[in-house]
Chains A and B, each alone.
Chain A
């Protein structure tokens, strides 16, 4: 219990950052994020951009899977939907603040379409259904050449707004990070209302949820739609970032990547989403650097990078599931608990 932390009204009790200390830290964080790109090199900025995109996608998946318990193996495919939608619109001169939400909405609609047959069933059947959706959508990406450019892909123009172009990673950073921050707060808000509570209720005991008046299919579809919306926006930003996209970007492996991110970070937690996304973004980069270093001794080392990523990936997932199933957020909470009464032991 924090000393001096008094709540004088219910509204205060329900606030996101009720203590002034918390608000100060958030301000510091905001300032850091703002000034960050000015002090580091271009590589780190582009890494931060990818991180932002991953955070948004992971948040969407966490809403679906972590909070509502709907396993989705097709998250990458929904990102693809958003990405191609953004590309198509951007090629026609649509500014980003229309193209991105549109991408999100389209992804959400596709999510609902996939959800209608899939959400009458649970657990493993749902997992297989989303797997099927993943392959079907990638097939569409490859074959619908007039819209998606097929296997050779399409170009995405710079994100633009009234002549101003986000023509560098530095500039794009200031599009991605605020969007991510906004979407994270929105996700957190969801769980301060009846909608988010219903999601969690469905995950924990859907029969009880029904008795409380929650229409299961309705809310499951809503969870799917919101999660896919986030995926769509992440996909759109991905398009603006990479500038050339092909269906190869949105494979089953990417879907699994995001599942790993929320497991590693902690399912059912927004902070966990961030931790998981950070971890999973940095790991491939570290591996890449490690392999480049190893290539100095053994020239064949670079061939090993892709399968090595797979092995490390799988080991991480299994390791976290067995040893730390609640994810990094649990580690974080343990550290906080220890420091609460430090130096006095509890």
Chain B
């Protein structure tokens, strides 16, 4: 995908809301290895924030810290004004945080529909007793969830034709879409996508980009994504954060970040002296970083 001089790439998003997620000075180490050395960033509602950086920069570690799998040694994470640094992972979901994984983490023993229904888990009430009886409360909430999911997610992501299929039988691209569907079924305020188009072909990537943009526009969700596909980042992100070796080395709109000499050096190596100056010629040739 070529980088185009879209408005989104050059100006910050006027529709963005307040910062929904605030990460302040996150330090994360494993044994002697430092994964994050004081990361600060924000994700706003109705904004698409992309986290980029070379391999090993700490992007997924950052996600895992935000999800609650890793307990950072220092720093704070605030979500919708609330300090969730100590909140266990399972409770963060109920607060409105949804996420997908780098390696598709669908439940292979379930169908597409059941996987997506799991997104609605925290909004249901059934306990083992009411579940075993099924008639009455459990049945009602199941039917209601089903209607909701069909309307809001399955139709939207165009996966109705595969809804009863076991996920293990799907193509990689469709699996990633089902994972997105499951995350959407959580009705989240923040959607964290870890490399949503990794391994996809051109067509699948464009479909995914379209879905993410629709999600941003129609649902006002804050999207935070990790990506290596620079074309996608340039095209749809409003706000970019660049990580390298666990530190933030650049922040801004996509085109600001692209020309940041620190960023260039991180990707291309240390001896680059001349920073890339943005000019029409370069952009027309579609030079992507």
Contact A193 B146 (CB under 8 A): no
Contact B121 A204 (CB under 8 A): no
Chain B interface size range: 35 or more
* Residues on B with beta carbons closer than 8 Å to the beta carbon of A216: 90
Contact A207 B105 (CB under 8 A): yes
Question: Within the assembled complex, what's the spacing in Å between the Cα atoms of A197 and B109?
Answer: 10
Nearest residue in A to B163 (C-beta to C-beta)?
A: A13
Of the candidates B109, B121, B131, the one whose C-beta lies within 8 Å of that of A190 is B131
Give B77 Cβ to nearest chain A Cβ, in Å.
Answer: 15
Question: Within the assembled complex, what's the spacing in Å between the Cα atoms of A215 and B90?
Answer: 6
Interface string of B133-171 (1 = CB under 8 A from A): 110001100110011001000000000000000000000
Nearest residue in B to A216 (C-beta to C-beta)?
A: B90
Known: A14-B146, A225-B128. A207 touches B69 (CB 8 A): yes
Stretch at the interface among B24-32, B93-101, B199-207, B212-220: B93-101
Question: Within the assembled complex, what's the spacing in Å between the Cα atoms of A198 and B94?
Answer: 15
A268 part of interface (Cβ distance < 8 Å): yes
Question: Within the assembled complex, what's the spacing in Å between the Cα atoms of A241 and B147?
Answer: 47
Nearest residue in B to A11 (C-beta to C-beta)?
A: B143
Contact A212 B132 (CB under 8 A): no
Contact A190 B107 (CB under 8 A): no
* Residues on A with beta carbons closer than 8 Å to the beta carbon of B90: 210, 213-216
Contact B105 A222 (CB under 8 A): no
Of the candidates B98, B110, B120, B134, the one whose C-beta lies within 8 Å of that of A189 is B134
Give A10 Cβ to nearest chain B Cβ, in Å.
Answer: 4
Question: Within the assembled complex, what's the spacing in Å between the Cα atoms of A194 and B132?
Answer: 11
Interface string of A177-219 (1 = CB under 8 A from B): 0000000001101101111111011011101111111111000
A226 part of interface (Cβ distance < 8 Å): yes
Contact A10 B114 (CB under 8 A): no
Interface string of A97-117 (1 = CB under 8 A from B): 000000000000000000000
Known: A192-B134, A213-B121. A10 touches B147 (CB 8 A): yes
* Residues on A with beta carbons closer than 8 Å to the beta carbon of B84: none
Contact A195 B67 (CB under 8 A): no
Of the candidates A10, A200, A213, the one whose C-beta lies within 8 Å of that of B143 is A10
Question: Within the assembled complex, what's the spacing in Å between the Cα atoms of A225 and B129?
Answer: 11
* Residues on A with beta carbons closer than 8 Å to the beta carbon of B127: 195, 222
Contact A208 B131 (CB under 8 A): no
Nearest residue in A to B126 (C-beta to C-beta)?
A: A193
* Residues on A with beta carbons closer than 8 Å to the beta carbon of B114: 197, 200
Looking at B98, B101, B132, the one whose CB has the most chain A CB atoms below 10 A away is B132
Contact A205 B107 (CB under 8 A): yes
* Residues on A with beta carbons closer than 8 Å to the beta carbon of B176: none
Interface string of B99-122 (1 = CB under 8 A from A): 101000111111000100111111
Contact A200 B147 (CB under 8 A): no
Give B251 Cβ to nearest chain A Cβ, in Å.
Answer: 27
Contact A201 B118 (CB under 8 A): yes
Question: Within the assembled complex, what's the spacing in Å between the Cα atoms of A14 and B150?
Answer: 13
Known: A210-B89, A226-B128, A268-B109. A194 touches B120 (CB 8 A): yes
Give A262 Cβ to nearest chain B Cβ, in Å.
Answer: 15
* Residues on B with beta carbons closer than 8 Å to the beta carbon of A226: 128, 132
Known: A10-B147, A216-B90. A195 touches B131 (CB 8 A): yes
Question: Within the assembled complex, what's the spacing in Å between the Cα atoms of A285 and B213?
Answer: 65
Contact A198 B142 (CB under 8 A): no
* Residues on B with beta carbons closer than 8 Å to the beta carbon of A196: 131
Q: Which residues of A come within 8 Å of B, CB atoms?
A: 10-11, 13-14, 186-187, 189-190, 192-198, 200-201, 203-205, 207-216, 222, 225-226, 268
* In the A-B complex, the 8 residue pairs with the closest CB atoms: A213-B93, A186-B132, A213-B122, A189-B134, A193-B131, A208-B105, A204-B107, A195-B131
